[in-house]
């Protein structure tokens, strides 16, 4: 099973600043990585798929990059609604899918 490891577990950032979240795969997953945002009490919402494609309706301040085993989600200027938990997911081999353990983004 491919293991996805996210860092840091918790990130404290001030509104308006940039946040950078990392995700490492235990083996190459090509570009088959998605990022999800989960606000408290809500279902997850896809932000990015195929490493860098923003899902419909996702603001341009969210961007994804990486390849192989190292991936990054960047939020360029944090808004109040961005403080949530973020998960990466790999989907490189059907039907296997695994999530990272999540990064909590807190207000500093």
Please report whether residue 102 would count as binding other proteins according to CB under 8 A: yes
Minimum distance of other proteins from residue 13's CB (angstroms): 21
Number of helices followed by number of strands (H, E) in the chain: 0, 11
Say how far apart CA 52 and CA 2 lie, in whole Å: 20
Minimum distance of other proteins from residue 91's CB (angstroms): 4
Query: Which residues touch 95 (CB under 8 Å, ≥6 apart)?
Result: none
Give 13 or 55: the residue with its C-beta nearer to other proteins.
55
Give which of 68, 64, 88 is closest to 76, Cα–Cα.
64
Residue 35 and residue 47 in contact, taking contact as beta carbons nearer than 8 Å: yes
Say how far apart CA 16 and CA 53 lie, in whole Å: 23
User: What is the x/- site pattern for other proteins, positions 31-70, by CB under 8 A?
Assistant: -x-x-x-x----xxxx--xx----x---------------
Minimum distance of other proteins from residue 3's CB (angstroms): 13
Give 16 or 57: the residue with its C-beta nearer to other proteins.
57
Q: Which residues bind other proteins (CB under 8 A)?
A: 1, 32, 34, 36, 38, 43-46, 49-50, 55, 87, 89, 91, 94-102
């Amino acid at each position: 099973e491919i293991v996805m490891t996210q860092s840091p577990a918790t990130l404290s950032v001030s509104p308006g600043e940039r946040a950078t979240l990392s995700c490492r795969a235990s083996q190459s997953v090509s570009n088959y990585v998605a990022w999800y945002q989960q606000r408290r009490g809500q279902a997850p919402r896809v932000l990015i798929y195929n490493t860098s494609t923003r899902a419909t309706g996702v603001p341009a301040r969210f961007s994804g990059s990486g390849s192989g085993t190292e991936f990054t989600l960047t939020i360029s200027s944090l808004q109040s609604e961005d403080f949530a938990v973020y998960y990466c997911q790999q989907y490189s081999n059907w039907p296997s899918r695994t999530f990272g353990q999540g990064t909590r983004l807190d207000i500093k």
